Structure 1
Amino acid sequence: MSRLGRNALVISAMDDVSTTRPNLALIVALLAGLSLPAVAQEPPAPKPDQSPSAATAKAGDDQTAPLTFGLAGPYLAARMATVENDYRAAARYFVQAVAHDRGDRYLQDNALVALVSAGNIPRAVELAQQMTQDGDRTELSDILLRAQLAHQGDWTGLIQLIDTARSDDDSQRNLIEDMVQAWALMGAGRASDALAEFERLSQIDGVGPMVRYHLALARGMVGDYESAQELLADPATGGHLLGVTARAQILSQLEQNDKAVDMLNQLQGIEAEPQIVALRDRLETGETIPFDVVKSPADGISQAFLTFATALASNPDPEPLSLIHARIAAWLSPEMPEARLMVAQLLQDRQQFDLAEPEFEALRQMGQMRPVAELSRIDALSRADRRAEAEKAALALTAAYPDLPQAWVALGDVLRQQEKFAQAVPAYDKSLALMQDGPDQSRWFPLYARGIALERSGQFDRAEADLQAAIKIKPDQASLLNYLGYSWIDRNQHLEKGLELIQKAVELSPNDGYILDSLAWAYFRLGRFDEAVAPMEQAVGSMAADPVVNDHLGDIYWMVGRTREAEIQWQRALSLEPGDSGDVDPDRLRAKLDRGLDAVMAEERAAGETKDLPPPQTEAGARTDPKTTD
């Protein structure tokens, strides 16, 4: 495959897509008062005077890693699986390890983490119950026991469990437990006590908006729609997706459909949220929408866990607990699409696509396929080299939303990444037809991508027109300038103008090794060998492990008389196993090392062979600007 072909597989519009998240101000406020359970971390090593067996005997007290005979294998396998985020394997091995040392809380807590992360919450509940019976409770096992009672609808039992735990040690009290208890009071028929508890919690510094959201839900459940609407009207309280949905339903219950429609129409990006569009359409017909954002106290508790999961996932280094809270939320309310989506996205972020797929499938069956999330999923599958799955997902998205141009762009990208260039063109055609009345800034990337697909499928006249149209819209996109400029030089057309485009691309992205490589090879093509040395040396400096640029630098060194250095670069390129990529011919490298570049080129000319100039490749610069693409 040529350098151009390799580049054509890399660029994607999906760098412009950001997943919809709940209100960031709400998350920051939540974190200010957050108290979290302590999930088992890497244990300390045994002390110098302590044998592994002795360390294990005290593991329940000092969290030391268990390494006794018969335990080391499952433990080490579990740790390796944990590092790789292979939750199913980690759960299996940690459960085996717990069977060897049932009283070790380090092993038990890690088994709970793995089981919940893998989605096997019933088995995690069984282990949590066993731990409690054995007197080995942990904060995570307590959370699971509370979730189990909520799952069963045993509100009296849940209240009693929380009260008993507080009487034993009130210092362990935390916000999520307080919210669980408030919802349990609702479930037990003690609505006044529940509302009073939410009112009390809303006075805690830093968490007021989040608690007031739950207070609004509780008031909505008891039919106090006026108070609920007043609470949700505050953007800090109801400005996230679920809050907007709840407020629209409540306004409908108050016979204010017009106000609800106006509120929804003011949302940015509403067309990317089909469930909001469907809600607006129902409101416009005059239908009275039922209030069902929470159908039971279990839904309220689920939303509490979901909010905590979102807060934890928003950290620069996402907490492992984010997935645990999201899993519990989805278990308590399996019909809540937001919880299933959060689980799917967290698993996707951890490259656990096999675990994420059932969650995405559940969303599809619920009629809750979210275009933004699906676009992110398609991109993640592509980057993980699961392109057949990405293509299947893209086809499903275009079938579900045939008028969504981004879906067709995603399909075109996936096809192009599989070198199905001719098949990619109609997908881009469709996307651009749908965008014809839209802003120009939304059209430059599909024009660029279609230009690549056309060029790679031998339709350069159309490709040239697309690339020029894209440059007219976005004249400062380095990878775009580089692509057209080098395409001209490769075809011995518009040589000076092509070089000017590449030089401008270098100015815009001076550290992009691929663009520097293009500049050097443009000079090479034009016979300006001395000028090619510096940019190619820079390219190798930033891409030392790329066989293509090492090969190119060798050729340039040869042409300026630095033959020994040329041989070193060719040997370097050969050591990088270029045959695996298809971009460099290892036999040609060996021939150059054996006979020199002049002899090889002479042999090729005598045989009537013409070595095309390797076309442009840009990787870093090919990522599109999220500020400019819809």
Structure 2
Amino acid sequence: MAGLALPAAAQQRPAPRPEPTQEGDQQPDATTAQAPEQEPKTPPAPLTFGLAGPYLAARMATVENNFIAAARYFVQAVAHDPEDRFLQDSALVALVSAGDIDRAVKLSDQIATEGAPTEFSGLIQRAELAHSGNWQGLLDSLDTKADGAAPEADLLDGMLSAWALLGAGRAQDALQEFEDLASGTPGVAPMVNYHLALARAMVGDYEGAETLLADPATGAHVLGFTARAEVLTQLDRRDEAVAMLDNIPGLEAEPQLLALRNRIADGEPVSFDVVKTAADGISQVFLTLSTALATSPEPEPLSLIYARLAVWLSPDTAEARLMMAQLLQDRQQFDLAEPEFEALRRMGQMRPVAELGRIDALSRADRRDEAEKAALALTAAYPDLPQAWIAQGDLLRQTEKFEQAIPAYDKAMALLDDAPQEAKWFPLYARGIALERAGQFERAEQDLLAAIELRPDQASLLNYLGYSWIDRNVNLDRGLEMIQKAVELSPDDGYIQDSLAWAYFRLGRFEEAVEPMERAIGTMSQDPLVNDHLGDIYWMVGRHREAEIQWQRALSLKPTDAGDVDPDRIRAKLERGLDAVLAEEKASGHQPQGSAPIEQPQAANAN
């Protein structure tokens, strides 16, 4: 698309989604920081007054994708310098991103009244003209022919112009404009032809619409499938519509398509309503551009702007709401995304694939309560969807509710009974973990072995069973072989290096344990368990001072009794040494599982 660009303050990329962190590894909350006390007569810092303060606050909020705060501060900044075009555009971007489009319209009108409109304020005004149905006003604002520019010079303006012509009752001109735009810009012809198909269907040319939508490059997406099925039904070709929908992979995960398919098959009335008005068509333009930008190698901030405008123009278009919700979710703005997901649920448009992504995103953001509620809602809405039960089991397992996770995995495995074997390895692995942590090792072992049979080269799976065997003093040789293979498959995985080192420790091969444990600490220096393990290994090879340093390091990382590291045991090792602690534990008969070298590994070997 030619022309439109965001101000630099609005072009910050969302931060990469963080991996789940260890409990307690929290970033400090900036809102709780206390400023040092000042003397009563000390003047405040200059940046707290005038333009600089709100501008810097707005920039920081933009970097953090805090659109509501960014909008508030940019509006304050504009009040201090109402002629700054950069600030005006930045305020508009933040307002639209935050969903406050009415205020954005007022600001864009104010900018136009002052005689210095920006390109972005012009976009907002054109969207408002479409929203109010002022088609001639929209055409006048575009004025693509008056200045001698060809309609295809700008993809966005060209499609807005075509839909505005249709809204103004000039159907033939509208269709011709779409055709000229498609032929003049071949690289985007499928995108334009999709809109041409919608326009043809709106004016009753279903044959022409079907010809365009039958091309996979034009219609092979959810809205394209929906439009084509509705068009075929208008042509009384219901059997073709049903067959087309039945051939869509994963149809069962698209409830709106499945419901449409059943209505068509049952002979129920079906109208063409993908677009009902020219405003719906322009909403689809914004949605098309939003989708293209969001799926590009470097997603653009404009994708959220276009999605917001698409929903504003056509609030009942579920695809637009879903796109907006997912873009907000990707930017970690869950409080803004949730109303959109809730709207989809009210519309009966809950999408399993999108909900699974939402559950995962909430979990990664440590919003586990919300994630669990979403998982429960998904299993209630789609009780026959195994992925929903797997997601619920994963959440319960991640929060150490292992007993509760097992029935969820059981339900998933029952639903996967007739599924391809490849689909079963992960739920078997996940259920095996839950069973092992719940103390049901016999069942866990069966699941883990079954999963390994399906995925013999899955490093984390080999590591888990191998470590579990060595931890229990069974199948020692085979367990060690599994862990060694896991290291070969994933040499940079700190957890697997830790497992190999600890397996050597348990087998009394202390010198061999040093190198893999030092590798593990190189990638997991903030993990108290790995630091504790390295301390034990150093002690056993006579490096007592280094062992004490590692134990002190483990304590500094705030281990809790609820985790895998007992801080009281570490303190005892610092006070009396590992040898004394192991002797005391052996004498008392209360030695923690897997914490000591195995005395006679050769006598315990099996398999």
The TM-score, its normalising length taken from structure 2, stands at 0.89
Q: 1:149 and 1:311, CA in 2 relative to 1: closer, same or farther beyond 3 A?
A: same
Alignment equivalent of 2:246, drawn from 248, 252, 265: 265
Q: Which residue of 1 aligns with 2:420?
A: 439
Structure 2: stretches of 5+ with no match in the other structure: 11-45, 597-607
Alpha-carbon distance in 1 for matches of 2:193, 2:200? 10
Quick check: 2:151–2:157 contact (8 Å CA) kept in 1? no
Aligned residue in 1 for 2:34: none
Could you tell me how far 1:509 is from its partner in structure 2? 1.3
1:74-130 CA distances to partner (integer Å, 9 max, x unpaired)?
212211111111111111111111112211111111111111001111111110100
* Corresponding residue number in structure 1 for 2:204: 223
Q: Deviations over 1:103-158 (max 9, x none)?
A: 11111111111110011111111101001111231111101101001111111111
Change (3 A) 1:67 1:147: farther
CA distance in 1, matches of 2:502, 2:456: 22
> Residue 511 of structure 1: CA displacement?
1.4
Pair 1:130-2:110 in alignment: yes
In structure 1, the residue matched to 2:510 is 529
Equivalent in the alignment of 1:196 = 176
**Alpha-carbon offset, residue 524 of structure 1:** 1.0
Say what the alpha-carbon RMSD is for the aligned residues: 2.2
Q: Is the 8 A contact 1:255 1:288 kept in 2?
A: no
Letter matched to residue 189 of structure 2: G
- The one-letter code sitting in structure 2 at the alignment partner of 1:412 is G
Matched, 1:179 2:159: yes
* Identity percentage of aligned residues: 71
Aligned-partner residue type, residue 323 of structure 2: M
Q: Would you say the 8 A contact 1:253–1:288 is kept in 2?
A: no
Q: Deviations over 1:23-52 (max 9, x none)?
A: xxxxxxxxxxx2241211149xxxxxxxxx
For 1:335, the equivalent position in structure 2 comes to 316
* Residue type of the alignment partner of 1:527: G
Q: Which of residues 48, 68, 75 is equivalent to 1:88?
A: 68
Distance 1:67 1:554, change over 3 A: closer
Structure 2: how far apart are the matches of 1:502 and 1:67?
A: 57
Structure 1 stretch 366-375 or stretch 484-493: which is displaced more? 484-493
Shift, 1:600, TM fit: 2.4
Counterparts of 1:306-317 in structure 2, within 5 Å, are: 306-317=287-298
Superposed displacement of residue 288, structure 1? 4.4
1:39 aligns with 2:6: yes
Contact 2:458 2:486 in 1 (8 A): yes
CA positional deviation for 1:165: 9.9
The 5 A counterparts of 1:94-109 are 94-109=74-89
Aligned residue pairs: how many? 560
One-letter identity of the residue aligned with 1:39: L
What secondary structure sits across from 2:187 in the alignment? coil
CA drift of 1:594 comes to 3.3
Determine which structure has greater relative contact order: mean sequence separation of CA pairs < 8 Å that are 6+ residues apart, divided by chain length: 1
CA offset at residue 400 of structure 1? 0.6
Structure-2 change in CA distance of 1:488 and 1:592 (3 Å)? same
Distance 1:357 1:556 in 2: 48
Distance 1:119 1:241 in 2: 25
Q: 1:68 to 1:527 in 2, by over 3 A?
A: closer
- Rounded to whole Å, the distance in 1 between the matches of 2:247 and 2:179 is 30
Cα distance in 2 for residues equivalent to 1:172 and 1:239: 24
Name the residue aligned to 2:375. Answer: 394
Amino acid at match of 2:426: F
Inter-partner Cα distance in structure 2 for 1:449 and 1:140? 49
Deviation by residue 1:273-324 (Cα, 9 ceiling, x = unmatched): 1111111111212334211111111111111111111111123332111100
Residue equivalent to 2:140? 160
Aligned-partner residue type, residue 435 of structure 2: L
Q: Matched residue of 1:202: which SS?
A: helix
| Counterpart among 238, 255, 268 of residue 236 in structure 2 | 255
Query: What secondary structure, in the 3-state scheme, does the structure 1 residue paired with 2:8 have?
Result: coil
The whole-number CA distance in structure 2 between the counterparts of 1:342 and 1:91 is 21
> Within 2, Cα distance between the matches of 1:198 and 1:447?
53
User: Which structure 1 segments of 5+ residues have no match?
Assistant: 1-33, 44-65, 616-630
Counterpart residue identity of residue 51, structure 2: L
How far 1:614 sits from its partner (Å)?
Answer: 6.4
Aligned-partner Cα distance in 1 for 2:213–2:574: 73
In the alignment, which residue of structure 1 is the partner of 2:190?
209
Match of 2:265 in 1: 284
- TM (normalized to structure 1)? 0.85
Partner of 1:588: 569
CA deviation profile, 1:529-556 (whole Å, cap 9, x unmatched): 1221121121112222322212211211
1:172 and 1:286 map into 2 onto residues whose CA distance is 42
> Following TM superposition, by how much is the alpha carbon of 1:168 offset from its aligned partner in structure 2, in angstroms?
10
Aligned residue in 1 for 2:445: 464
